[in-house]
Structure 1
């Protein structure tokens, strides 16, 4: 039943991620443009160029803000990561051995450490 829940959550997250793939790409491109414009704005000394880079930066900022639905895609990607991590998790089963030789080996290893 646990695997079914993980499969259902992963399927929903995959559909959300695929439906927000366009805004995710647009968000990435607009963030790269915004970063480049910011770096150029800091490098330039001319007031006219600063105004030009500021206008371009404002346009890039508005393009970035218009892709806010991409945050759902980022959240869906994170949920997919968690589902993948939980799916591949190994259960650690502790088996108590009553075998005297196994217990002797454990005790001998503990004595060697001291």
Structure 2
């Protein structure tokens, strides 16, 4: 039953991711361009160049803001990753190891109590 729920959640997350793929690509391109404009803005010497790079950066920032639905796609990708991790998860049982330091502590404490 758990696998059916994971399959349903993974399918919905995949559909959300695919439907927002265009806005994800647009957001990535806008952020890369914004980073490049910021680097040029910081290197600019004159006030005119700083104003020009600032205006261009503002336009690109508005373009990136137009791709806000990409955040829904990113959430879909995260859910898809979590479903993948849960699907391939192996069950582990708590097996008590012989190297537990507290076992020897209990033995030594019992020996000290005898005296």
User: Shorter-chain TM-score: which interval?
Assistant: 0.7 to 0.9
Q: Deviations over 1:15-44 (max 9, x none)?
A: 000000000000000000000000100001
What corresponds to 1:64 in structure 2?
Answer: 64
What corresponds to 2:4 in structure 1?
Answer: 4
Map 1:1-114 onto structure 2 (within 5 A): 1-93=1-93
Q: Deviations over 1:64-89 (max 9, x none)?
A: 10000000000000000000000000
Partner Cα separation in structure 2 for residue 95 and residue 71 of structure 1: 42
CA RMSD of aligned residues (A): 2.0
TM score, norm. by length of structure 1: 0.82
Q: How many residues align?
A: 102
Shift of 1:95: 7.3
What corresponds to 2:108 in structure 1?
Answer: none
Structure 1 regions of 5+ residues with no counterpart? 97-105
Partner Cα separation in structure 1 for residue 50 and residue 39 of structure 2: 11
Partner Cα separation in structure 2 for residue 56 and residue 95 of structure 1: 61
Tell me which stretches of 4 or more aligned residues in structure 1 moved more than 2 Å: 93-96
